[in-house]
Every structure is written in C-alpha cells, then in structure tokens.
Homo-oligomer: A and B are copies of this chain.
Amino acid sequence: MFFASDNWAGAHPNIVAGLSAAAGGFATAYGDSALDQAVYQRFNEIFEREVAVFFVATGTAANSLSLTTFSKPGGISFAHRESHVIEDECGAPEYFSGGARLHAVDGALGKIDAHNLERTIGRFAPEIVHWGRPMAVSITQSTEVGTIYGLNEIETIAAIAKRHSVPLHMDGARFANALVALDTTPAEMTWKRGVDILSFGGTKNGCWCAEAIVLFDLDRAKELAFLRKRAAQLFSKSRFVAAQFEAYFKDGQWLDTARHANTMAARLAAAIEDSAHAKLAWLPQANEVFAVIKKTEAAKLQAAGAAFYDWHKPHGFDGHIGEDELLYRFVTSFATSAEEVDRFGQLIAG
C-alpha cells in the first residue's frame, strides 16, 4: 500500500528489458547514437511534427532549462502558487536562469486561473526596466493536486501568454496521466493549443530515469544544446535514456501504465468515498487522490502499512478540515495493484 509517491516505484519490467537489450556494443556518446536518433524520430511521430528533444536527468532540470531557454534580464515567469517549480525545486529555475523570478498566480485546485493570470501579467509594462518583464507562463499537466487542464483551458492560457509575447511551458512530469484522462493526443495537448516547450516526464510513469525537454520552437534548439551541456545535463551514455524511452513508447506502453495508474486512483477514490473515516477532498482526474482524514485514523492506516503523506491545503479548496483532521495525498503508479488498493479500502472502510 505504497501511496506516498509515484517515484517510490522502481522501473517497469519492459523498461528494464529495453535497457538490458541496449547494454551491449559500442555507440557514439552524447546523444548521437543510432538509438538516440531513432528515439528522437519517435518523438516526432508522437507529436505529429518535428520537435527538438533533449534528454535530461531530472524533472527539475527539464523545468529549469525550459524556462531558461526563454530567459531574459529582469524576466518573470508566471506559475501556479503551488506548482512544482515554485514549491519543490529548491530555487533551481531561478538558479539556472541567473535569477529570473517565478511569480505565483492563484487558481483553484492547482490550476492557474486565467483571469488572475491576465490581471497579474497585465500589470507589467515591458518598457519599464524597474519592474522587470514577463518571460514565460508555466502550467503543470496534470497538476500537483491531481487535476487536469482541459484543452480549451490550455488554449486560453496560451492566448494570454501570446498576447503578452511570452511562451507557454508545460511541466509534464505526469504528462501521460493527463493525456489518457483527456483521451487526446500529445499534439492536441501541446503545440496545437499553444504550448512552446514541454517537460516530458517518463520517470514517474515506469522509467528509471527518463526525462526530456520537447522544444517546439526549433529556432532555439541550438542554444538549448549549449544550455543543457553547461548545466551538466548532457549524459555521455545517452542511449541509456533513449533505451528507456524506446521501451516506453513501444506498443503504447506509456499509455497503458498511465491508464492503469489513473484507474487505480479512481478505485482508491471510490474506496475513500465509501468510507466512514475519510472524505474525498475533490475528484481525482489523474493518479493522485486527496482525502480529509482524522489524524488518529490516518495513523492507524499508516501503522497497518499504508504509506502516504499529509498535504497542505491548496488554494481554492473550500471543503472543511476539522481540528483533528488533515488533508492527505495518495499517489498511484504503474506498480500499484488493485489488491493493494482493495486492502486499503477494507482498512479504511472499517
């Protein structure tokens, strides 16, 4: 009953097999091998157009370098107040960009509110050096609290970004979970709606270590190559990432594992809804479930072997949390089994 995080899981057997299969032989280093090239081509197919792909070591690197790609002196990026770039990356986006600021924008349940964004970004006057100036907008899909931007919502936010002449970045650490939940295509969820650069995560969805920046603005590819190397994010044996992505995409495995994780989240949510001891905080849309539970009850669950963390109340959550209660987060993954979820359901039912 490991619901603490989707990165507590190891690697999916198919990923392991792919990695093992690629281990032998010699190949050019630093992302130029035939396998690397084939995987870049695979990304083109998946996104239905030419894209520039840059493997990096971590999601934090993907996000930080994505924003740095569009960096400028006095630059300010706009992201949700509870976004990963603001809350969980130790200031890496600011560090990588030499100090470009992240400006928190509010919105209910992990999603930037378009009106807030417009009002916030609209306050800046790009010619007044004192204030700094807009540099990028960043959204997370799916969000930190398991919600999802609809395609039209992405389009709306992209339109605001464009109106203010800044690019739209998508933090897709859980890209696949959103994709299958929306039942759409990678192209539709990104560049067709105005996304300019994407952090494409494979790690949380069954890889060991497979993160990529997908850049739609090809003119910036050459610079990003230097940015990545300078940031110590260019793997020598790059094919070890390529091999993971090859297996990840093969026969739609990435969609299967994401679907499985989402299904497990829904199953968990149903168990919580049925429980007398817990209230579902809001409806999960991807692979994260949030519930309000009595602290004593949560402690019992944890004592019985369930791993999960309490979470701070997100902006826009208007449910009641009693003095003796807390909000808790449960994350499912490719490795979550229905048996585990059901066992948890029995515990919480009780």
Residues of A within 8 A of B (CB): 2, 4-5, 7-13, 15-16, 19-20, 22-30, 56-61, 64-65, 72-76, 87-92, 94-102, 104, 123, 129-133, 203-204, 208-209, 223, 225-237, 239-240, 307, 312, 335
Known: A101-B94, A232-B57. A223 touches B72 (CB 8 A): yes
New A-B contacts (5) at CB < 8 Å, excluding given A20-B20, A90-B229, A129-B228: A2-B26, A8-B26, A10-B240, A60-B229, A72-B223
Interchain residue pairs A-B with the least CB separation, the first 10:
A57-B57, A94-B99, A61-B232, A95-B99, A2-B26, A7-B236, A129-B229, A73-B226, A60-B232, A74-B90
**Smallest distance from the beta carbon of A219 to chain B beta carbons, Å?**
14
Flag if A91 contacts B11 (CB, 8 Å): no
Flag if B129 contacts A11 (CB, 8 Å): no
11 interchain pairs, CB-CB under 8 A: A8-B27, A26-B335, A74-B91, A74-B229, A74-B230, A91-B100, A91-B101, A91-B132, A129-B226, A132-B230, A231-B232
Flag if B97 contacts A234 (CB, 8 Å): no
Q: Which of B76, B88, B204, B240 contacts A209 (CB 8 A)?
A: B240
Contacts of A226 in B (CB 8 A): 72-74, 90, 129, 133
Flag if A129 contacts B234 (CB, 8 Å): yes
**Closest residue to A135 on the B side, CB-wise?**
B91
Flag if A58 contacts B20 (CB, 8 Å): no
Contacts of A60 in B (CB 8 A): 229, 232, 234
**Closest residue to A27 on the B side, CB-wise?**
B8
Contacts of A234 in B (CB 8 A): 58, 60, 129
Flag if B239 contacts A10 (CB, 8 Å): yes
**Closest residue to A102 on the B side, CB-wise?**
B101
